[in-house]
């Protein structure tokens, strides 16, 4: 019997007991469907992260923040008094900030050509030219590298400019983000004793909201953030020292010098990260969640494999005389094994094709609905909840077929071992 004949015979045999085969296929289908959804979910969100970050940021920049000392989290009781830390605390910056000395250390690190520092800036409200006042707080100025603009451009770091969220168009009575570009905006910044100073700025661009959180608050230019920070400190009577949230260090030939610069900054007590490092943190978390969800789908497939075993064992018992006849007519034990193994594989193929097909359809339809402009998640720019990963889909298909084949080996081996004389006598 040729391989094609074995396949045709196996297919017709699986249809002998349609209800039993259907229920077994459904069990495989559930596992394939769940695996396809979790795989597509992970692929979609990873693709979204790549789109959000991939086209933005500066390829030759390392972002630097202070390291969190292990002793601060591991020790019992309050930490020992540190005069230098206390001096920073007096200035209102706390110990989790970069000092002017830290910025100088970063600037003097080999292969670093320039450093931009992020100051802490607090505002009271913003006021439009028409007199409307609205609550707001600044996003990080250095997040301009991650921002996605709907109109205009990100702020010039040296100018008094600001980029505002897309939904701010409503306070200008317009639906077109382009109408906001070039408009003036007044920033009210409080000093240490609560007095307000107004700064007039120009709107340079309008921001999309993104999964990175960039675009939900206005992004000031570096110069504007520094101006507001200086106002915040006016009237403060204690010791004032400079403090920075983070720094962006431009590195000469980052691809070659990245590891050396990171090692040097780490030795100085800093935590350096490139844009790729930040993307990797997101994707590692997403992959971990995807694997956990996939584990539940694999449990469903394991349960389905017992269904295949049960279905084929019953089939072997019901077809005992038929097996004896086939072997009496010269069919080898290997061919008998292959026939029943093929039946198991066909059940796996049918269940996987149905599960993968419906899983892909469900994923793409749900993604289109949820991320449509007027959908529940339509406010997230470039968001994709479901994506196609051909390698993952192929892997799911092969995994299910392999599980089905392994599940069919026990019934197939039992059929192959049947003695033809005893089988023909079976009632």
67 shares its domain with 45: no
Number of Cβ atoms within 10 Å of the Cβ of 60: 16
Tokens linked to 169:
């168009």
145 shares its domain with 218: yes
Residue 262 lies in a domain: no
Residue 295 lies in a domain: yes
Tokens 């490139």, located at residue: 274
Confidence (pLDDT) at 87: 44
Sorted by sequence, the CB contacts under 8 Å of residue 390 that are 6+ apart come out as none
Residue 259 lies in a domain: no
86 shares its domain with 229: yes
303 shares its domain with 410: yes
First to last CA, the chain: 27
Residue 406 lies in a domain: yes
Sorted by sequence, the CB contacts under 8 Å of residue 217 that are 6+ apart come out as 136, 137, 138, 139, 165
Q: In which domain, by residue range, is 234 found? A: 61-252
25 shares its domain with 107: no
Q: What is the pLDDT along the chain (427 residues), one digit of tens a residue?
A: 566 666 777 667 676 777 877 888 888 898 889 889 988 888 887 777 766 665 445 567 888 888 755 444 454 444 454 545 444 444 344 446 788 888 889 989 988 888 888 888 888 889 988 888 888 888 888 877 777 788 899 999 889 999 998 888 888 888 888 999 999 999 999 988 888 999 999 999 998 765 455 557 899 998 999 899 889 888 776 655 567 888 888 888 888 888 899 999 999 888 888 877 777 777 777 778 888 878 877 887 888 888 888 777 777 777 777 777 777 777 777 777 877 788 888 888 999 999 999 999 999 998 888 877 676 776 565 677 888 889 989 999 999 999 888 888 888 888 777 776 776 665 5
Question: Total structural domains in the chain?
Answer: 2
Confidence (pLDDT) at 187: 92
200 shares its domain with 307: no
Residue 266 lies in a domain: no
231 shares its domain with 365: no
Confidence (pLDDT) at 77: 45
Residue 258 lies in a domain: no
Distances (CA, A) of 257 to 58, 59, 170, 303: 15, 13, 46, 52
Handedness of CA 208, 214, 218, 223 (dihedral sign): negative
Specify whether the CB–CB gap between 35 and 297 falls below 8 A: yes
């Amino acid at each position: 019997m040729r391989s094609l004949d074995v396949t045709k015979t196996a297919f017709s045999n699986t249809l002998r007991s349609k209800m039993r085969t259907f229920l077994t296929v459904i069990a495989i289908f559930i596992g394939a469907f769940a695996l396809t959804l979790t795989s597509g979910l992970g692929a979609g969100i990873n693709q979204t992260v790549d789109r959000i970050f991939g086209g933005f940021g500066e390829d030759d920049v390392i972002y630097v923040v202070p390291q969190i000392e292990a002793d601060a989290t591991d020790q019992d009781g309050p930490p020992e008094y540190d005069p230098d830390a206390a001096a920073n605390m007096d200035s209102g910056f706390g110990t989790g900030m970069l000092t002017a000395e830290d910025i100088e250390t970063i600037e003097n690190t080999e292969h670093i050509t320039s450093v931009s520092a992020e100051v802490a800036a607090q505002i009271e409200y913003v006021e439009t030219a028409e007199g409307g006042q609205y609550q707001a707080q600044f996003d990080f100025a250095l997040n301009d590298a991650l921002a996605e603009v709907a109109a205009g451009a990100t702020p010039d770091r040296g100018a008094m400019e600001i980029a505002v969220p897309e939904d701010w168009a409503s306070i200008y009575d317009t639906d077109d983000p382009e109408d906001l570009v070039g408009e003036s905006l007044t920033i009210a910044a409080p000093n240490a004793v609560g007095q307000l100073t107004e700064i007039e700025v120009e709107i340079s661009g309008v921001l999309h909201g993104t999964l990175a959180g960039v675009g939900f608050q206005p992004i000031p230019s570096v110069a504007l953030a520094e101006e507001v920070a200086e106002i915040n400190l006016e009237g403060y009577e204690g010791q004032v020292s400079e403090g920075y949230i983070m720094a962006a260090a431009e590195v000469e030939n980052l691809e070659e010098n990245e590891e050396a610069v990171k090692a040097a900054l780490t030795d100085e007590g800093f935590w350096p990260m490139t844009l790729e490092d930040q993307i990797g943190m997101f994707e590692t978390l997403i992959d971990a969640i995807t694997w956990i969800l996939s584990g539940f789908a694999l449990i469903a497939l394991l349960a389905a494999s017992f269904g295949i075993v049960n279905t084929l064992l019953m089939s072997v018992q019901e077809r005992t005389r038929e097996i004896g006849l086939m072997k009496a007519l010269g069919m080898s034990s290997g061919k008998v094994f292959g026939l029943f193994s093929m039946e198991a594989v066909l059940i796996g193929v049918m269940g996987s094709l149905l599960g993968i097909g419906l899983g892909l359809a469900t994923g793409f339809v749900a993604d289109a609905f949820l991320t449509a402009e007027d959908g529940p998640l339509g406010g997230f720019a470039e968001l994709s909840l479901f994506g196609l990963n051909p390698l993952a889909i192929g892997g799911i298909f092969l995994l299910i077929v392999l599980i089905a084949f392994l599940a069919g080996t026990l019934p197939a081996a039992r059929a192959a071992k049947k003695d033809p004389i005893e089988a023909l006598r079976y009632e």
